[in-house]
Amino acid sequence: MSDFVGIVIVSHSPNVAKGTADMVREMVGDEVKVAYCGGNADGGLGTDVAAIHGAIDSVFGAQGVAVLVDLGGAETNSEMAIEMMDEERQKAIVICNAPIVEGAVMAATEAAGGGSLDEVRATAEEFLS
CATH code of 97's domain: 3.40.50.510
Query: What pLDDT, on a 0 to 100 scale, did the predictor assign at position 127?
Result: 72
Confirm whether pTM is higher than 0.85: yes
The Cα 15–Cα 126 span in angstroms is 25
Structural domain harbouring 71: 6-128
State yes or no: is 12 an active-site residue.
yes
Could you give the number of structural domains in the chain? Answer: 1
- Find residue 11's DSSP bridge partners: 38
Mean pLDDT, range 13-27, rounded to an integer: 96
Q: What's the pLDDT band for 46 if we cut at 50, 70, 90?
A: very high
As a whole-number percent, the residues of the chain with pLDDT over 70 amount to: 97
Sign of CA dihedral 13, 15, 21, 27: negative
Of residues 30, 20, 100, 89, the one with CA closest to residue 57: 89
- Find residue 95's DSSP bridge partners: 67
Candidate list 8, 9, 12, 121, residue with the active-site label: 12
pLDDT of 83 > 80? The answer is yes
The Cα 34–Cα 21 span in angstroms is 7
Q: What's the pLDDT band for 129 if we cut at 50, 70, 90?
A: low
